[in-house]
Amino acid sequence: MNVVDGQWHRLDVRSIPAAGVVVAAPALATVLVMTIAGTGTTAVLITLLVGLGVALLIAGAATYEWVFYRYRVTDERFEQRLGGLFRNHRSIPRERIRTVDLTAAPHERLFGLSTVKISTGAQATEATIKLQSISRDDAEALRHAVTLGGESTVEDAPDEGVLSRLQPRWLGYSALTVSLMLVAWGAIGSAFGSLDEPLREWGVFEALSDAVATLGIVAFALVVAGIALVVGVVGAFLLSLEMWWGYQLTREPGTLRVKRGLLTTRSLSLEERRLRGIELSEPLPLRLAGGARLGAVATGLQAQQQDKKQPESKTLLPPAPRAEARRVAAAVLRDQPFDVALTAHPRSALRRRIGWALWSALAVAVLVAVPAVPGWIPMGFAAALVVLALLGGLGFAVDAYRGLGHALDERYLLARNGSAMRRTVALQRENIIGWRISRTVFQRRADLMSVGATTAAGSSVYRIYDVRTADGLALADEAVPGLLAPFLERVAVEEISSTGGERPPM
């Protein structure tokens, strides 16, 4: 189909039965379970009729949308028109389109459909147009026309332009992702809340109380923590399997494309001319295993993630070996930004982090003293928690200091920081549009400052923490010559004026 013909097009008619299947399938599954469990015929019939009735209503709404929904692509704009009684007409200039996201849920894949989301990257609702359930071929043709302007793609030669493919062993790195563990724990917690009554009837809570009495609260807590860790790792592995199966990063003419997904397939296209740098993320568990993630620093990518169970739209590489992340970064940028040696920060930055660790340990001591003094928990256990908090805090402080670093080469400004989440960003110097310099009272006493490079991409500000004042100002001036100099000169003039024409001692 030639989508850039200026003609109005409908959604695919298969979207009507696809919408009904979303409701009908769970209803039929529920009826089957009720029948096997020996539920009464009346209850089964009522459940079946209610499920089919809801499915018909959903299919009716899909029919209404199919009748009144239209879209078209012209040389200048992408337009959407919907509504019968109340008309809504929206359009986006094609030159403002930043990303094209193709998604196919299981019921859409069954009918050969895809959902297309076209976005300018802005936060406003009007900045995104969503085509719900068009044919897979039409969705691909639309993505092709909008992002590539009709040029040939890598589909003509499947291996040409492939930057990275999923290796099954990488899924082990994804199992160490804390955010996915939290999703798994949240799902289990929600299930316990929903099944409160059956669990009480089955005596689960009574058995847990007996276990606490038998093992003691400390041993019971350790057992629960161990079980939670195993469940979290397994849950993270299963979630990563669904998200990243079939992952492939390819370079098409002027575009980077990420394809992934097992049950729900997804495809995100990003224009290379919107790329401003690259970010290497290393959460602590992943870093200890030698892994890392890779994300794009680009304009037009939405800052807020709508679906917390899905990776951010900036993600170019799932958790993988660090060497693979560095290789893909070099392939994406056509450069070697992470091969530059980083400059270490002064020892006063370490002292600041050790101070934070001591204060954190003191806070833990106060918290555990509340139940320990009345004897609710053993005093030895409370003391062990305080010692662990102190040692852990000091370990994080040293590791965070060792992670601090920055560098400057011909094209990129590099900045690295963090311990629990270590991030290394390579930002194009030509796209730095300003500097955000901050100094707390404690930083001024230690002759330190934080220098933030601002850019119209990614998280907008990328900071170099706790660098020596003179080094930070010199770095900013060297990275973008002339941008910071007028402000430094004005400060110098004001200081000279305030001291009667004499420059104060440095």
Listed residues 244, 262, 282: the one ending a domain: 244
pLDDT of residue 14: 92
299 and 189 both lie in a single domain:
no
Q: Which range has the worst mean pLDDT, 66-70, 154-158, 216-220, 307-311?
A: 154-158
- Which candidate, 455, 493, 488, 491, places its Cα nearest to that of 472? 488
**Structural domain contains residue 482:** yes
Same domain, 330 and 411: yes
**How much is the pLDDT for 154?**
40
Same domain, 351 and 304: no
Q: What is the pLDDT of residue 502?
A: 38
494 band by pLDDT with thresholds 50, 70 and 90: very low
- Asked if the structure places residue 41 within a domain, the reply is no
Residue 462 lies in a domain: yes
- Is 488 inside any structural domain? yes
Does residue 323 sit in the same domain as residue 414?
Answer: yes
Task: Tell me, yes or no, whether 353 and 369 share the same domain.
Answer: yes
Residues 428 and 364 in one domain: no
Mark whether 182 and 238 lie in a shared domain.
yes
Question: How many degrees, rounded to 5, is the angle at CA 279 between CA 356 and CA 175?
Answer: 80
For residues 238 and 378, membership in a common domain is answered with no
> What average pLDDT does the segment 360-377 reach?
87
426 neighbors 412 (Cβ within 8 angstroms) = yes
Q: 298 lies in a domain?
A: yes
Task: Return the higher-pLDDT residue of 279 and 311.
Answer: 279
**Number of domains making up the chain:** 3
**Range of lowest pLDDT (32-41, 122-131, 315-324, 431-440):** 122-131
Of the listed ranges 340-344, 370-374, 432-436, 470-474, the least confidently predicted one is 370-374
Mean pLDDT of the chain: 84
* Same domain, yes or no: 423 and 302: yes
SS3 274: helix
Lowest mean pLDDT among 229-238, 359-368, 445-454: 229-238
Q: Where are the beta strands (DSSP E) in 220-311?
A: 248-252, 255-260, 265-271, 275-283, 291-298
Q: What is the DSSP string of 288-339?
A: HTTEEEEEEEETTS-SS-S-TTS--TTEEEEEEEHHHHHHHHHHHHTS-GGG
Band the pLDDT of 297: cuts 50, 70, 90.
Answer: very high
Q: Is residue 266 part of a domain?
A: no
Residues 214 and 279 in one domain: no
In this prediction, residues 51-56 reach a mean pLDDT of: 89
478, 430: one domain: yes
- For residue 472, the enclosing domain spans 271-343+404-496
Q: Name the pLDDT band for 349 (thresholds 50, 70, 90).
A: very high
Please tell me whether residues 423 and 492 are part of one structural domain: yes
Region of poorest pLDDT, from 35-39, 86-90, 101-105: 35-39
Q: Does residue 1 lie within any of the structural domains?
A: no
Q: Tens digits of per-residue pLDDT, 99-157?
A: 888 999 888 998 999 999 888 766 555 678 888 889 998 898 888 887 655 444 444 44
- Asked if pLDDT for residue 176 goes beyond 50, the answer is yes
Rounded to a whole number of angstroms, the CA Rg of the chain reads 28
Domain end among 209, 244, 279: 244
Asked if residue 426 belongs to a domain, the reply is yes
